[in-house]
Amino acid sequence: MFNRALIAAVAACGIGSTAYAGIAMSFADPVPGRQWHNEANGGGAGIGFMTYDSTASLSFLFDGSEDSLPNHTFVNAVMQLEMTIGAATTLGGVTTAPVSGFFKIYDGSIAPENIIIIGIADAGTYVRISNTNSILFSDPSFSYVAGPALEAITGPIVFTDPSEAVFTLTSVVAAGGGSFLNPDGTFKTFDANASFSGNTQAVPAPGALALVGLGTLVMAKRRRG
């Protein structure tokens, strides 16, 4: 589950909060090394461009028990991530910055047929409270899409609201040392460890519902016959 103290503080600052949903997803920070990277000005003047080491092996947990879906751990998952981060501002001891982009988690290697899940963030928020650094996403500016590798486990599904995601960054190290924030709020080049938690809900995809309806109709005709 998400860091509840962080979420409460974020909600108090008007950034948004997290609501529990039936499906839980997560991966812990892999070791060794820092896989999260921000390139200063990589997205334009003052805009950082964040990526993730797509060779790092992740143990990705999908827990669908609350939505009557299977539980499954993808033991050799990898992640592709591309996100921009704008300049930060600080108010009341909370530092925030705008974030947008996407991440894709794959089973084994980066190939379309191996996609487990895609997270698409039109808008999100980097949040720093004390020494805690997180990136928060929630609907309506965030959504999940199931990939073939996941639907091989669950069957065809469509994710619905509420949908949230949190990346928690730790051991952040700026290039050249010191703070990873410039005085004007822009981010320096930095590397960090990262873990992930996500919540959502799911319903059968329309095609799957049609098949269920067809099966019910066939069974009804057989009974009448």
Helix then strand count (H, E) for the chain reads 3, 12
Rounded Cα distance, 219 and 155, in Å? 21
Q: Quick one: pLDDT at residue 91?
A: 95
Q: Measuring CA to CA, how many Å separate 166 from each of 32, 41, 53, 163?
A: 21, 23, 18, 11
> Of 25, 10, 4, which Cα lies nearest the Cα of 201?
25
Q: Are 6 and 127 in contact (CB under 8 A)?
A: yes
Provide the 3-class DSSP secondary structure of residue 29: coil
pTM for the whole structure: 0.85
CA–CA separation, 47 vs 170, rounded Å?
21
182 alpha carbon, distance to own chain's centre: 27
Task: Taking the CA atoms of 155, 158, 162 and 166 in sequence, report the sign of the dihedral they define.
Answer: positive
Cα-based distances in Å from 91 to 57, 65, 86, 199: 37, 40, 16, 28
At 219 the three-state DSSP class reads helix
Q: List the pLDDT tens digit at each of the 225 positions of the chain.
A: 444 445 544 544 445 444 456 999 999 999 899 999 999 999 999 999 999 999 999 999 999 999 999 999 999 999 999 999 999 999 999 999 999 999 999 999 999 999 999 999 999 999 999 989 999 999 999 999 999 999 999 999 999 999 999 999 999 999 999 999 999 999 999 999 999 999 999 999 986 444 444 444 444 454 555
